[in-house]
Amino acid sequence: MNGKVIFWFIMMFLPFLLYVDFWQWNTIYPIVFGWIPWHVFYQVLLNIAMVVIFACFCKYHWPKHNLKD
């Protein structure tokens, strides 16, 4: 595996690790926008991060094929 593949493997695997946010299990504060507890907002941010990672992955790494589209 070359460096590029390892980089994208780590980027795609990272959200799986960050999903288990044991270090802030019951961290409610700050209440974001006055209604979202922090641990929920963290998971929302993680979902948004996945959108960015997936978009970059699709643009820069998704292997091209030789079939007729």
Partner 1 sequence: MSGPAMGAMFVILLYLALTLSIGIYSGRQSAKSSEGYFLASRELGPYVMFFTLFATNISAFAYMGAPGGAYHLGVGFFGYLATTTSLAATFFYVIGYRTWLLGSKYGYVTAPQLIGKIYNSKGVAMVMLVALSVFTIAYMLCQPIGAGYVINAVTGGAVPASVGVLMVLIFITIYVFVGGLKATAYADLLQGSIMMICVILVLILVTLKLGGLSAAAQSLMTAKPELFARGNFSIEQWISFGLVISLGVPVFPQLFTKYLAAKNTNSLKTTMTLYPLAMILIYIPVLFLGAFGSIVFPGLVGKASDAIIPMLLENFYAPWIGALVLSAVIAAIMSTIASQLITTSTMLLKDLYIPYINKNLSPQREVFVGRVFILVLAVLTCYIALSPPAAILTIVTWAFTGYAVCTPAILAALYWRRSTAAAVICSVLAGEIVLVLFMLGIIPASVLGKWQACVPAIAISTLVLIVVSYLTKSGEEERRSIDEKHDFLDTIFKAENA
Q: Is 14 in the site for partner 1 (CB under 8 A)?
A: no
Q: Give the separation between CA 57 and CA 4, rounded to whole angstroms.
A: 11
Task: Calculate ∠ Cα 62-7-63, nearest 5°.
Answer: 15
User: Using the rule CB under 8 A, which residue among 7, 10, 30, 55 binds partner 1?
Assistant: 55
- Does residue 60 interact with partner 1 by CB under 8 A? no
Residue 37 CB contacts under 8 Å (≥ 6 apart), including other chains? 28, 29, 31
The answer to whether 23 contacts partner 1 (rule: CB under 8 A) is no
Q: Note whether 21 binds partner 1 by CB under 8 A.
A: yes
Q: How far is the CB of 52 from partner 1 (least distance, A)?
A: 9
